[in-house]
Amino acid sequence: MIELINLKKVYIEADNILTVMNNLNYTFHKHKIYVMFGRSGSGKSTLLNLISGIDLPTSGKIVINGTNITELNESNRTLFRRKNVGFIFQFFNLIPTLTVYENLLLPLELIGKIGKTEDEKVKNLLEEVGLISKINNYPDTLSGGEQQRIAIARALIHEPEIILADEPTGNLDYETGLHIIDLLDRLIKKTNKTMIMATHSKEVMGLADYVISLKEGKIYDIN
């Protein structure tokens, strides 16, 4: 589903050249859950940003379902991401001036899907994550775990093929993190998505079909 072909990413800061990806080749298969480990600075977040089209590689290709996203212009990459990718962040990234309902409706509005069906979809997904009672709340009235559950719902609401999760339990206490892992496991498998999760949390390994490591600009299979 996702092919990384001779992927290279280099950052130049002053006189320093930092090579984060170095001719990286890897294939992510459909409907599988990948958990990616790597030390801080190994490029986990960079790789997720490249796959989503938020950032571009220095060279190489990223092919998703036959589309080489590295050849798309910025506008078309944005449109591709809005339709095909859901992103879950460590710090939730909910819009504070929008209610829970409005935060979930936003990804649908961005792809032009608004109506009674979408309204029901939002409510049904809030039922799934156990937060229908918070539908009119603003993010700052929710706990960290509740905000992350809303962020998961927002990532799934537009039915993307791919879910990218960047340390989704990193800003939560241990018990809340376990609940979030269980929720992700249930929803990703129920909706048959492909998920790539970058994490430091060993507890996440149990939900993975593949455990991989990013080290020295290369991906290595652990299992």
Structurally, what CATH architecture does the domain formed by 2-221 represent?
Answer: 3-Layer(aba) Sandwich (3.40)
Alpha-carbon span 167 to 87, nearest angstrom = 11
204 band by pLDDT with thresholds 50, 70 and 90: confident
The pTM (predicted TM-score) of the whole model is 0.92
Q: Is the pLDDT of residue 169 over 90?
A: no
Query: What residues contact residue 195 under an 8 Å CB cut-off, 6+ apart?
Result: 32, 33, 34, 162, 163, 164, 165, 184, 188
Alpha-carbon span 168 to 177, nearest angstrom = 8
Mean pLDDT for 100-123 is 89
90 band by pLDDT with thresholds 50, 70 and 90: confident
Alpha-carbon span 64 to 115, nearest angstrom = 29
Q: Estimate to the nearest angstrom the gap between the alpha carbon of 97 and the chain centroid.
A: 22
Query: What residues contact residue 128 under an 8 Å CB cut-off, 6+ apart?
Result: 153, 187
Is 131:100 a contact under the CB 8 Å cutoff?
yes
122 band by pLDDT with thresholds 50, 70 and 90: very high
Is 60:120 a contact under the CB 8 Å cutoff?
no
Give residue-wise pLDDT tens across range 38-49.
Answer: 888 888 999 999
Give residue-wise pLDDT tens across range 14-53.
Answer: 778 888 888 999 999 999 999 999 888 888 999 999 999 9
112 band by pLDDT with thresholds 50, 70 and 90: confident
Give residue-wise pLDDT tens across range 178-196.
Answer: 888 899 889 998 999 999 9
